[in-house]
């Protein structure tokens, strides 16, 4: 029935850990050791202010470790290791997610903006104090009225040539900066995104360094700061609101990598199109999205590790043999956890590949726009898929632990609450998937205008020639497998990796072609183009999802191909089978509707998920142990109680 070898009874989790740890194994090991320290403990029964204080202390601890320097240029004392830096955020997310987010705000978003949007003067002046946390900062992009549509932010930065200053202003309530991490309590400075107005016109959104508090922590003149208050989770992060009443900052406060204003007010930029410049600047956000995807992965692994351990020890109802059955022996329980576990493995490899690609691209000197766009799109898509996976899996893990899982002491409630906003921040998932589809439909070419609908529709109409599958991972391995795949009707095909890869490719191509056909109408018909685009929205999202699923599968296949240990490899092959079968099962209506699966083949897919769940059940503990999560983050009392 299966093309892959039998899974042996015992695989050493450490061997699997080495496979998972991959290229940045050193960073992973170092952070694991560091985080085993009780100083990095979870927040337990702290109120909001205590939690914020604890997280700030931990943040200083991190700064002292020097690790936050990893992602910055060596020129200014940084480590120049972008991949290592992203991996360190991912690992941090095994612990209190408030710390990960606060670190992400300080070093990823705030520091990243200064590094990537600023120029030498900004780097010299600010990077060291940012790395050392002497200058805690904010990333003030989102406004109350505009979150997804950041191109239409309403904060203004009007240049005054008389004083050579920018005047930062919040015109109304909807334009206040909202949900800004580090703003309510600790931030001293903010990178503020605002419409740059000079020479009597707007040049679109640019970023400005604006002091928000003085050295004694009092709000600066003209800056009104308020607190977003309690949130569902992440209460160790001080999110706040910022309102600017004609705040003046010097001309040099403009982070002028992609656009500058001369003393007399003349605007200049290496990129002519306002839209294109804006999206090039936004492209620098990619690290944030990559980090959220990685962190979602770590939190999901932690929830799965807890739930699998509980499922092995918790027993309920009697077997006819006279023993109480471990709940993980029930098929329904396996179905809750094991396909999710397989998906976590798949996403792990996709994440690693994404980090690797980004590291390669940003470490190399030359700018490859096509690759940059492809990476932005992939980061957006993997962020969406990984965070939705986190939301549903952590929910399933909570339910799988019953009433015990509802108690704060057993960790799952906090994981659920903290990760809940991951589907929203760094880009709403639905908007991100549309971005993915747009990139695919336009082959990442130019015209990266707004995230709205019309530009896409028109552009697709003009340029789309058909879905082109660009393979990202270990191209040769994938091609070899696909070429050797049996035909669609072959009875044994289900477990053939090449056949599976082709199935995923084919779904993506078909969906993309269909979307393109529908969108062309938007440009050619008399019908309302918004209507055409909107009517196709579920189709667009499905196409994007199918693309990411294919990218994830290819990464998994490439990861297995790199695995040298035969036992570990055989186990991973099975996990990959479960990932594929569960994915196809969830979408099998589509495969049936489009003649890709017969009814009997579709039923065989459902049966395969059941079989694989039962086959992998004895390996579940090994699979979660391989994540090598520091034990203090798994210390749920329900796991240590006597039976």
What is the rounded distance in angstroms from the CA atom of residue 231 to the CA atom of residue 425?
A: 13
Residue number, 321 or 631, with CB nearest to a second copy: 321
Among 492, 530, 562, 566, binds a second copy (CB under 8 A): 530
Among 132, 537, 625, 634, binds a second copy (CB under 8 A): 537
Tell me if 87 sits within 8 A of 294, measured CB to CB.
yes
Q: Which of residues 263-302 bind a second copy (CB under 8 A)?
A: none
Residue number, 367 or 530, with CB nearest to a second copy: 530
Buried b (16+ CB within 10 A) or exposed e, 76-88: bebbebbbbbbbb
Kindly state the tokens that stand for 53.
Answer: 């204080």
Q: Is 599 in the site for a second copy (CB under 8 A)?
A: yes
Q: Is 593 in the site for a second copy (CB under 8 A)?
A: yes
Kindly state the tokens that stand for 444.
Answer: 């990442």
Closest CB 181 distance from a second copy, rounded Å: 11
Closest CB 179 distance from a second copy, rounded Å: 5
| Long-range contacts of the stretch 276-279 (C-beta < 8 A, 24+) | 276/446, 276/448, 276/449, 277/204, 278/151, 278/204, 278/205, 279/448, 279/449
The number of residues that bind a second copy (CB under 8 A) is 85
Q: Which of residues 230-259 bind a second copy (CB under 8 A)?
A: 230-233
Among 2, 4, 119, 148, binds a second copy (CB under 8 A): 148
Sole window of 209-217, 273-281, 411-419, 495-503 interacting with a second copy (rule: CB under 8 A) = 411-419
Among 430, 443, 463, 632, binds a second copy (CB under 8 A): 430
**Binding flags for a second copy, 613-642, as an x/- string (CB under 8 A):** -x--------------------------xx
Q: Is 402 in the site for a second copy (CB under 8 A)?
A: yes
Closest CB 560 distance from a second copy, rounded Å: 28
Sole window of 259-267, 313-321, 365-373, 506-514 interacting with a second copy (rule: CB under 8 A) = 313-321
What is the rounded distance in angstroms from the CA atom of residue 327 to the CA atom of residue 334?
A: 9
Virtual CA dihedral for 111, 117, 120, 121, nearest 10 degrees? -80
Phi-psi region of 229 (alpha: psi -120 to 50; beta: other; left: phi over 0): left
List, in order, residues 6 or more apart from 412 with CB less than 8 Å away: 303, 306, 307, 394, 397, 398, 401, 405, 406, 636
Full DSSP string of 150-185? GGG---EEEEETTTTEEEEE--SGGGSEEEETTTTT
Among 61, 274, 399, 625, binds a second copy (CB under 8 A): 399
Q: Which of residues 316-375 bind a second copy (CB under 8 A)?
A: 316-321, 324-325, 329-333, 335
Residue number, 394 or 560, with CB nearest to a second copy: 394
**Binding flags for a second copy, 26-65, as an x/- string (CB under 8 A):** -------------------x-x------------------
Tell me if 183 sits within 8 A of 270, measured CB to CB.
no
Residue number, 535 or 625, with CB nearest to a second copy: 535
Tell me if 165 sits within 8 A of 250, measured CB to CB.
yes
Q: Is 541 in the site for a second copy (CB under 8 A)?
A: yes
Among 178, 376, 496, 505, binds a second copy (CB under 8 A): 178
Sole window of 215-223, 378-386, 530-538, 625-633 interacting with a second copy (rule: CB under 8 A) = 530-538
What is the rounded distance in angstroms from the CA atom of residue 170 to the CA atom of residue 176?
A: 6
Sole window of 199-207, 469-477, 589-597, 618-626 interacting with a second copy (rule: CB under 8 A) = 589-597
Which residue's entry shows tokens 């160790």? 236
Residue number, 605 or 626, with CB nearest to a second copy: 605
């Amino acid at each position: 029935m299966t093309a892959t070898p039998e899974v042996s009874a015992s695989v050493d989790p450490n061997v699997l850990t080495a496979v998972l740890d991959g290229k940045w194994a050193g960073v992973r090991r170092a952070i694991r050791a560091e985080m085993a320290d009780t100083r990095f403990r979870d927040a337990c029964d702290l109120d909001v202010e205590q939690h914020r204080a604890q997280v700030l202390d931990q943040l200083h601890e991190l700064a002292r470790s020097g690790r936050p320097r990893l992602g910055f240029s060596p020129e200014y004392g940084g480590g120049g290791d972008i991949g290592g830096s992203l991996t360190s955020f991912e690992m941090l997310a095994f612990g209190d997610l408030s710390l990960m987010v606060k670190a992400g705000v300080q070093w990823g978003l705030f520091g990243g903006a200064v590094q990537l949007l600023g120029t030498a003067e900004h780097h010299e002046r600010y990077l060291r104090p940012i790395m050392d946390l002497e200058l805690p900062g904010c990333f003030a992009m989102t406004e109350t009225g505009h979150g997804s549509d950041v191109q239409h932010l309403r904060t203004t930065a009007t240049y005054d040539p008389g004083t050579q200053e920018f005047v930062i202003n919040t015109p109304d309530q909807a334009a206040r900066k909202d949900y800004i991490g580090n703003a309510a309590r600790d931030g001293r400075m903010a990178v503020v995104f605002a419409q740059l107005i000079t020479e009597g016109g707007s040049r679109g959104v640019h970023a400005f360094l604006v002091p928000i508090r003085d050295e004694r922590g009092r709000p600066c003149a003209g800056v009104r700061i308020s607190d977003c208050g309690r949130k569902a989770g992440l209460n160790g992060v001080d999110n706040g609101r910022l309102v600017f009443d004609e705040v003046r900052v010097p001309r040099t406060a403009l982070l002028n990598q992609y656009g500058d204003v001369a003393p007399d007010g003349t605007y200049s930029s290496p990129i002519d199109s306002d839209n294109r410049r804006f999206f090039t600047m936004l492209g620098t956000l990619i690290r944030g999205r990559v980090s959220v995807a990685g962190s979602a992965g770590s939190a999901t692994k932690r929830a799965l590790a807890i739930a699998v351990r509980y499922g092995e020890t918790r027993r309920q109802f009697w077997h006819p043999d006279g023993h109480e059955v471990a709940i993980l022996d029930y098929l329904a329980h396996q179905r809750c956890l094991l396909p999710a576990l397989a998906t976590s493995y798949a996403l792990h490899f996709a994440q690693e590949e994404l980090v690797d690609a980004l590291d390669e691209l940003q470490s190399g000197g030359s700018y490859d726009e096509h690759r940059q766009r492809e990476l932005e799109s992939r980061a957006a898509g993997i962020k969406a898929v990984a965070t939705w996976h986190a939301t549903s899996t952590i929910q399933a893990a909570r339910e799988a632990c019953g009433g015990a899982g509802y108690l704060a002491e057993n960790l799952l409630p906090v994981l659920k609450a903290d990760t809940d906003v991951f589907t929203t921040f760094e880009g709403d998932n639905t908007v991100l998937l549309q971005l993915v589809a747009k990139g695919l439909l336009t082959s990442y070419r130019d015209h990266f205008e707004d995230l709205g609908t019309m530009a896409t529709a028109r552009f697709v109409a003009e340029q789309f020639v058909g879905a082109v599958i660009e393979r990202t991972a270990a191209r040769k391995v994938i091609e070899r497998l696909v070429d050797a795949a049996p035909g669609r009707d072959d009875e044994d095909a289900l477990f053939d990796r090449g056949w599976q890869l082709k199935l995923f490719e084919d779904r993506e191509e078909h969906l993309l072609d269909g979307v393109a056909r529908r969108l062309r109408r938007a440009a050619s018909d008399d019908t309302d183009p918004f209507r055409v685009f909107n009517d196709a929205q579920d189709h667009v999202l499905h196409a994007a999802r199918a693309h990411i699923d294919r990218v994830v599968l290819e990464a998994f296949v490439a990861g297995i191909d790199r695995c040298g240990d035969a036992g570990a490899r055989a186990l991973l092959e099975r996990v990959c089978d479960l990932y594929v079968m569960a994915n196809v099962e969830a979408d099998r209506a589509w495969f049936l509707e489009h003649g890709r699966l017969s009814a009997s083949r579709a039923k065989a897919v459902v049966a395969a998920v059941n079989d694989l769940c039962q086959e992998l059940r004895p390996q579940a503990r090994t699979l979660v142990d391989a994540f090598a999560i520091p034990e203090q983050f798994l210390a749920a009392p329900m796991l240590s109680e006597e039976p």
